[in-house]
Structure 1
């Protein structure tokens, strides 16, 4: 690897007062730490690509970020950011540099990935590329440095420490970073790898990284870090481009190659994934490196091809390789500047390692014990944190909370303990609608605004208070989750669930729904009054059919109109009924309502979403928080409340308990309502 280049960045601003520093002397207590000089040059540890998550226990899982790998050196108040190749990119990420300079350490080496996080919490490599090319640090999303390892700290080399030991020390260090800054600790899960991987893919994440918790940090590619990708994706060398056709501008497609047996070989043509701006700017760069003949042997014969020097690298997603070494369904993701053309080869997946033999029950390893020891992870003078070894045991409703002071909603400062307390407080109001219903959870282990994932199936390590039941799916029988009591509700908070979504049926009659939901989703420009009017119109339409309904906020701008029914009809009868009701509303006022998914046609309208009423579909539970800025709660309302101005964001974990203590439960009568979808109703809506 090339050594680091010359310049080291200064602190936040010239002349600014340096942040006060303290020595994190607990580094001395970390098992495996040794005194050593500052490592001016570190080759990063790399993960081996495998076909699937490793089986068995003994792994921890992190999100595979979609950005630039970056080693950060902090020394004497000066920060240097280095790519995998040792390129100095400090000035490209000034905000990250400034936040690192404020950490309470004299010397440190951190390993992580710089990304752009979109509003959905998923990292976006193309948005990061656009930010770099535009000279800004995150206009299309939030730029962050997710740090997953700590290699050196104040005179101590930590590379021989266990993975979990290094992560605990890293977490303690980053606790001093400002909440509103760019630095984030990379959380991990110690659950069933297949389940973690599946949910990561559903969320649109690139994949997961599996790491051995007891392993040291070793430069280069090894077996203690594994990567599992949700799709095929890697770097390719750009070897040419074609002229645009039709309405396209700039270029039509790029031609790419890969090194095979030490020689550059053609791999195919990539024509999708470009924005108009990218096509134009990329053509300009490629024209500057044009050459008369291809830079490889066996080039295909094409008209209008421009060959280029093999200097630029493209990140490409694709579905498979053909037998003759071409890419199937390739799509351009962005340019990569942190690797050399010579390093680009075909990524070969290895089979995951076999599960290790089971160890006899007994004491944990020295490495894990050291990592769990409070003295190894707490800075001197800090109060002990609940849930760690040697710390005070904290329970809420019979559920032990680990890290109860972990902040789950940074903007509001809401901790895990506060959120657990909220659910325990409103459980009597929430459980009638949530208990014994299959769940889909939005889990955010690191808190709101950081990567989250969906979970609906069983995973290892879940509390016994979270019940399991078998459900038939298209590809076989799967184990789903539900709860029955307050302990189960709080257990969901312990596992990092910030949203709870429920089926419209109960576990004892899964195939017969007892609840219909009409989700009213307004176009962004519509005021609250239009949403309230839509809900009242749906209510009136349902009343003409003889059905009583209830209303609640969703934690966003929309409203849910909820209809309790007897569990008699099956999903394939209830869903068409709700579609017919939605279609009737659109016929009543097509200028105000729409019942199709087309976002292009929603301008000025309220989308009447009946799709919540299909088998396997869910709706956010009453009184559930949302994994969104503001920590709003989906809150039942009385119909009269829609007649006055109302801000759905005002319903929070602080205000909802106060509201329930001050007013009668708006849904108190819902569990007592007895009504069914009759044959006469079906005929009225045209079924």
Structure 2
């Protein structure tokens, strides 16, 4: 049968619901993967579509057997494709090696043998030819759980009703990306970023050394569009990524003045990052940034500038990013 195309509902960044309303919300782990809507026509076939609507079915051949799990029952299911590390946590770096292969089935099949993916299902949008979009989250979730879809490459993790503070604390304790809060009485809003779903990302902070900058464009002409930052390790400044957000206009102007005063012809990073048009500075400015996770290569993911740390020297910040193992952290 022909299934309706349903763009996925999106969550709005925010904070935990008020304690008095805690019991009106469900809490799900925020997954770091690729958002997909799975279309199962009931004949054993599967079509996977990305958030953009692109057909990415061929990129994940191991998920084709999901169709057999619901043979005879047409369904549209919402979920997230993950690649798991050895600890069973979502690792976006691993997943990147699988994404973008929808037009290369042979490569996708080889990668599937090396790095299999796992589809986490968290909503049912249509079942047996009937749209579930007008139903409440509680009703849709009940229909999804009745399907008992737990197989070799897919699962339906439980959602916790109430106890939001404990749920968020658990994600932090286990190094997970965050939490998604979903109002129990909310309907599914296709293609909408809704306040009925709230995402909370666990951000970390770090002190980093500024080693360069990239000129801004347009209204930022003459000002830094981003700064290039690093961390000291054994006396060597290692590149940790670029930071391009978090300043007010006044703070950006002040930062430009400090960068010009520290201008240098020599790249302070070892090895030098590949950044076209980069301008180098003496590595003496220290800044505090917030970020979601670190890659295994030590790069910050989703960094945001917080403030200059005039009270710190580069040496003071040396241990900040080296404490603890790197984590990986991404789609609702």
Higher strand share: 2
Matched, 1:162 2:136: yes
Q: Any idea what SS the aligned residue of 2:32 has?
A: coil
**Residue in 2 that maps onto 1:230:** 202
Q: Which residue of structure 2 aligns with residue 121 of structure 1? A: 88
State whether structure 2 residue 120 is matched by structure 1 residue 146. yes
1:270 Cα shift? 5.7
Give 2:186's aligned residue: 215
- Check if 1:189 corresponds to 2:189: no
Spell out, residue by residue over 1:85-111, the C-alpha distance to the aligned partner (whole angstroms, 9 max, x if none).
Answer: 112211111111232354234421111
Determine the structure 2 residue equivalent to 1:58: 24
1:67 pairs with 2:51: no
Q: Is the 8 A contact 1:62 1:210 kept in 2?
A: yes
- Choose the corresponding residue for 2:11, options 34, 47, 69: 47
Task: Between 118-127 and 107-116, report the one with greater CA deviation.
Answer: 118-127
Quick one: structure 1 residues 121 and 258, their matched pair in 2 at CA, closer, same or farther if it must change by over 3 Å?
farther
Aligned partners of 1:254 and 1:271 also within 8 Å = no
Q: Is the 8 A contact 1:66 1:125 kept in 2?
A: yes
Q: Does 1:137 align with 2:137?
A: no
The higher-RCO structure (CA 8 Å, 6+ apart) is 2
* More helix as a share of residues: 1
TM-score with structure 2 length normalisation? 0.60
Shift of 1:320: 4.5
Q: What does residue 206 of structure 1 align with?
A: 177
Q: Which has more radius of gyration?
A: 1
Distance in 2 between residues matched to 1:257 and 1:53, nearest whole Å: 38
Give the 3-state SS of the residue equivalent to 2:38 in structure 1.
strand
Structure 2: 5+ residue runs without aligned partners? 101-106, 206-210, 232-255, 268-274, 279-294, 309-316
* 1:230–1:216 Cα change, 3 Å: same
Aligned counterpart, 1:95: 62
CA distance in 2, matches of 1:111, 1:333: 26
Alpha carbons of structure 1 residues 227 and 91: separation in structure 2 relative to 1, 3 Å? same
Displacement of 1:335 in angstroms is 12
Cα offset, 1:232, TM superposition: 6.0
Structure 1 position 330, deviation (Å): 9.4
- Aligned twin of 1:317: 301
SS of the residue 1:218 aligns to: coil
Taking the TM superposition and a 5 Å limit, the aligned residue runs for 1:513-662 are none
Q: What's the offset of the Cα at 1:38?
A: 2.8
- The answer on 1:111 being equivalent to 2:78 is yes
Cα RMSD between the aligned structures?
4.2
Does the CA-based 8 Å contact 2:82-2:91 persist in structure 1?
A: yes
State whether residues 175 and 327 of structure 2, in contact with CA within 8 Å, keep that contact through their aligned partners in structure 1: no
Task: Give 3-state SS (helix, strand or coil) of 2:10's partner.
Answer: strand
Matches within 5 A, 1:7-406: 38-39=3-4, 41-52=5-16, 54-55=18-19, 56-75=22-41, 76-132=43-99, 135=108, 136-137=111-112, 139=114, 143-175=117-149, 179=151, 181-219=152-190, 220-231=192-203, 266-269=225-228, 305-307=275-277, 316-317=300-301, 320-322=304-306
- Which runs of no fewer than 5 residues in structure 1 stay unpaired? 1-35, 234-251, 273-297, 309-313, 339-687
Between Structure 1 and Structure 2, how many residues are aligned? Answer: 243
| Aligned mates of 2:217, 2:157 — CA distance in 1 | 32
Instruction: Look up the match of 2:314.
Output: none
